[in-house]
Amino acid sequence: MLYPLLRELLFAFPPEDVHYFSMNMLRLLCRSDAGAALVRRQFAWRDHSLAKDFWGLRFRNPVGLAAGFDKNALYLAELDALGFGFVEIGTVTPKPQPGNEKPRLFRLPDDKALINRMGFNNDGVERVRERLALWNSKRRDQNSKLVVGGNIGKNKATPNEDAWKDYHTGFTRLFEEVDYFVVNVSSPNTPGLRELQEKDALTKILSELQNNNQGRTKPKPLLLKIAPDLTQGQLDDIIALANEVKLSGLVAANTTISREGLSEKSRRMSDDIGAGGLSGRPLRERATRVVEYISHNTGGKIPIIASGGIFTGADAAEKMQAGASLVQVWTGFVYEGPSIVKNICRQLSA
């Protein structure tokens, strides 16, 4: 009830600054055992009937946090306390990079949307690996049930013909620290990255990763995150390749370069903002159509993590009815606040 008022205050400040301020305040609250317990009592939803089993992993509920929110694995304990079933860190690149110039994150509040052109800003795979190792030692002690995925990408300076090397580095360096992997070739904010969604380039990347993966004693689930802007032919290629290289699943979908569905005011704001990926409410129907198409054309045999325009339990149920196994929020978390997991899970339970 209080969050809409707090949101009005927070929205008076730059989005990226608010992101770190809010999460650091949550970290401060969770620093003590009593504070963390208070957060769990207030925001975590407990219903064992919502648990999901995929890829040998048990998700305590189907609501996850999409990559891009906790890029550097800084807030896993806090997100665990909020009750997320899983959190996807990253996108992580081999070398640290600052990302694009600020401002690079923008609100379109009339449409409950965001535009971002972050550009894979992250601390690099070695720093992130160290934080994940520390988290894993703590979560074993605390018996945490949070599933953690690693979203991996390429550095901006790496030419596309060498992109597979960057993905290989991210995969091997994080292998012992994450529960599953997502290959990100669909962000619109790294020049040329989406070209890697073409079949030949993608085959090279995924085949190299799976060769490495299958040579290990216990392979990790490997998923691919795709754009919502793919043509039917491109989606067919993705499905064929997913079967060919035996992907564990698909994440549908990333942000869109389209501005379809925006109100007139938001469209004018978007014109002023310029390039970037659009997320939030306007993406909901487009993302659901992609999920539905993949599910229908695979006979539901490829698990899908759905992302795009999920704010409520009804939104999550829509994605699941379209064929998704799990869902992820990001923009919805910004607009709905820390109760989003609890609210979605309550509605799904009902």
d(CA 213, CA 15): 38
Contact criterion met (CB below 8 Å) for 68 and 118: yes
Q: What are the two backbone dihedrals, phi and then psi, of residue 286, each rounded to the nearest 5 degrees?
A: -60, -45
Do the strands 180-184 and 147-152 form a parallel or antiparallel pair, or are they unpaired? Answer: parallel
Q: How far is CA 69 from the centre of its chain?
A: 7
How big is the CA angle at 194 (ends 69 and 324), to the nearest 5 degrees? 60
d(CA 68, CA 114): 13
d(CA 290, CA 308): 10
CA quadruple 278, 288, 330, 310: dihedral positive or negative?
Answer: positive
Residue 291 has a CB neighbour count (10 Å cut-off) of 27
Q: Which of 144, 186, 187, 325 is catalytic?
A: 187
Q: How many CA atoms lie within 13 A of 241 on its CB side?
A: 23
Maximum Cα interatomic distance, the chain, rounded to a whole number of Å: 55
What residues have CB less than 8 Å from 168, skipping those under 6 apart? 208, 209, 212
Q: How far is CA 252 from the centre of its chain?
A: 10
Q: Which residues make beta-bridge pairs with 280?
A: 113
The string of DSSP letters for 136-192 reads HHHHHHHT---EEEEEE---TTS-GGGHHHHHHHHHHHHTTT-SEEEEE---TTSTT
Q: Give Rg (Cα) of the chain.
A: 19
Residue 187 appears among annotated catalytic residues = yes
What residues have CB less than 8 Å from 23, skipping those under 6 apart? 70, 74, 75, 78
How big is the CA angle at 346 (ends 341 and 347), to the nearest 5 degrees? 105
Catalytic residue numbers read 187
